[in-house]
Amino acid sequence: MNIFDNISKSTSSFSSSRLMIKTAVATSILLASVASYADFNHSTWDSLLNKNVTMTNGGKASVVNYNGMKADKSKLDSYMAATSKVSQSEFNRWSKDEQLAFLINVYNAGTVELVLTKYPSIKSIKDIGGIFGSPWKQDFVTLLGKKRSLDDIEHNLIRGSKRYNEPRIHFAVNCASIGCPALLDDAFTGSKLDKQLEQVTSKFLADSSRNRLKGGTLEVSPIFKWYKEDFESNWRGTKDLEGFLARYSSSLSLDKSQTADLKAGKTKIGYTDYNWNLNKK
């Protein structure tokens, strides 16, 4: 073998090594990306919802079979145990949609868990807190390394973090009440989150028992009064409540002229009553 053959062989070996290194690096990056965006397994919660939640009024509301949930309590416990094992560092590696879907599911599962502690002796989730307490301030959900209340999950992790800026969560997190937007009969997932949030928002606003144009007043759920700031947070360019509601003019059955008046601030906004009775089947 002459000197040129040796050079050629060395060059070929060097190129092969570089290719192997590049392939290994690319594979590592791909695996890391997949791991960061992989959905948490919500199948147990999903199956509980499929079995025990019934959508009513064309999907605008839902009722929960709490007796069925109670019979399946071991599955609910298993799901809550699995969510409690997620560390903050693992959570931080997920996409925003996966994080938000996870938090919504934990909130809703936690709400069902709380109701079951007193069911069937209660007529409303508010009965759990008693006169001087609040069901939403009880620390009973182990999440991201500490015991948390439902208020902590919703108002600190979801709303207070300012990370998500997602007003549609108010139609996804469920307070176990008839006045509340429907508890969806499917678990939320990162891959379908936007579609699911749009679905629950549109369906809720289409419910004329809670949102309707009456005379010259657009009467909407008090959710829009309690959390008005969330609907004025420049979500997708929407800077006021009227603008948010106008995005769903078809769900509200508004024509073009009525929608234009709403956008222009010419429509009076009023609020309907909120029914705190349990959303039981």
pLDDT digits (tens, 9 = 90+) for 110-138: 999 999 999 999 999 999 976 668 999 99
Task: Answer for the pair 88, 142: CB distance below 8 angstroms, yes or no.
Answer: no
Closest CA to 156 of 144, 168, 225: 144
Judge whether 6 lies within some domain: no
Q: Look up tokens 């079979």; give the residue.
A: 65
Own/partner contacts of 68-77, CB < 8 Å, gap of 24 or more, are: 69/112, 69/116, 70/116, 70/119, 72/48, 73/116, 75/44, 75/47, 75/48, 76/45, 76/48, 76/109, 76/112, 76/113, 76/116
pTM: 0.86
Judge whether 232 lies within some domain: yes
pLDDT score of 55 more than 80:
yes
pLDDT score of 19 more than 80:
no
Judge whether 12 lies within some domain: no
Instruction: Output phi, psi for 53, to 5 deg.
Output: -115, 130
Task: Answer for the pair 170, 230: CB distance below 8 angstroms, yes or no.
Answer: yes
Task: Answer for the pair 178, 275: CB distance below 8 angstroms, yes or no.
Answer: yes
Closest CA to 229 of 160, 136, 152: 160
DSSP 8-state assignment for residue 175: -
Cα 93-82-70 angle, rounded to 5 deg:
140
pLDDT score of 12 more than 70:
no
Closest CA to 237 of 227, 228, 247, 229: 247
Judge whether 15 lies within some domain: no
Task: Answer for the pair 272, 220: CB distance below 8 angstroms, yes or no.
Answer: yes
pLDDT (tens digit per residue) in 61-105 = 999 999 999 999 999 999 999 999 999 999 999 999 999 999 999
Q: What is the pLDDT of residue 31?
A: 38
The arithmetic mean of pLDDT across residues 198-220, rounded, is 97
Judge whether 184 lies within some domain: yes
- pLDDT level of residue 233 (50, 70, 90 thresholds): very high
Judge whether 14 lies within some domain: no
Half-sphere exposure of 221 (CA within 13 A, CB side): 22
Q: How far apart are CA 178 and CA 277, in angstroms?
A: 6
pLDDT score of 185 more than 60:
yes
Residue-range definition of the domain harbouring residue 184: 38-271
Q: Strand 53-56 and strand 141-143: pairing?
A: unpaired
pLDDT score of 27 more than 70:
no
Judge whether 94 lies within some domain: yes
Q: How far apart are CA 140 and CA 163, in angstroms?
A: 24
Half-sphere exposure of 153 (CA within 13 A, CB side): 34
Judge whether 131 lies within some domain: yes
Number of domains in the chain: 1
Structure tokens at 54: 């019934």
Strand order through the sheet with 268-271: 212-214, 217-220, 268-271
Q: What is the pLDDT of residue 131?
A: 65
